[in-house]
Every structure is written in C-alpha cells, then in structure tokens.
Amino acid sequence: MNLSNLKPAEGSTKTRKRIGRGPGSGLGGTSTRGHKGAKSRSGYKSKIGFEGGQMPIQRRLPKFGFKNINRVEYKAINLSTLQGMADAQQLTKIGLDELIAAGFISTSQLVKILGNGNLTAKLEVEAHAFSKSAEAAIQAVGGTVVKL
C-alpha cells in the first residue's frame, strides 16, 4: 500500500450531477429548471422575504418593544452575599477585586449592592451603585459606602 493506490471507502463518495451537458446525460434541455419563466433564466433573484405576493411574515407581525441604547446593566449583589464573604474571609473592605476573586462578577461588569439579607459586619463596601436600603443597612452597622 502506498499513496498512489489509496481510495475512499466504498459508497462514501457520489458523483455530482453534470447539468446541461446534452440530452444523452438525461439532465440536458431545461437543465432541471422547468420551462420558461424568470426562474429558468440566468440572473434570476427574488427579494428576501418575498412570498409570491402574499403579505410577508415580517409585515404581518406587529412591531413590539424597543431596545434602550442608554440602558446601564448592573450585576446585583445582595447584603447576604457580602455578609457571607466577610464571615468566610474575615474581610473589612469589600471592593470589585474581592468580588472578582470570589467569582461573583467578571472584570467588565458594573456592580449594584441590593438590600436583601441582613448585615452584621462593619464593612467598607465599594461598588458602582447602591440601593437606598442597602446603603442604609451598611451605614447602620458602622460601615462606609464608596461609589465608584
């Protein structure tokens, strides 16, 4: 065996249809395009979404909603999460670096601290935004809030 006598497995390859190569091939004449009309001619192209004159689906269905280009997407972190981190790692300051290291956020995400759960540890919390209840809860236990 050598490279000159390698062949694909039996039945794994098919011969392509040679369309428009005379009547003897069985695929001459109209070359599988049917008779006459624009679709049989070269250069035929239909409009995208054209359904033969029937009202197309993109015009039948109504428009819905909009995408606000000014929307700011925050990753929500609750006070209960901060308390869990403070207990586990004996932290006094929780910022973006600590949240990234803990796997709660990625480097590109903005963070908002929400007031769900209760906080007992005195923490310095660093984030992009805070809910009013979270800010009040952090300051109630003697902690500080730093907005980035």
Whole-number CA gyration radius for the chain: 34
22 phi and psi angles, rounded to 5 deg: 100, 165
| pTM score of the predicted model | 0.59
Cβ contact 123:92 at 8 Å? yes
Q: What is the pLDDT along the chain (148 residues), one digit of tens a residue?
A: 899 999 999 999 999 999 999 999 999 999 999 999 999 999 999 999 999 999 999 999 998 899 999 999 999 999 999 999 999 998 899 999 999 999 999 999 999 999 999 999 999 999 999 999 999 999 999 999 999 9
Q: What is the DSSP letter of 108?
A: T
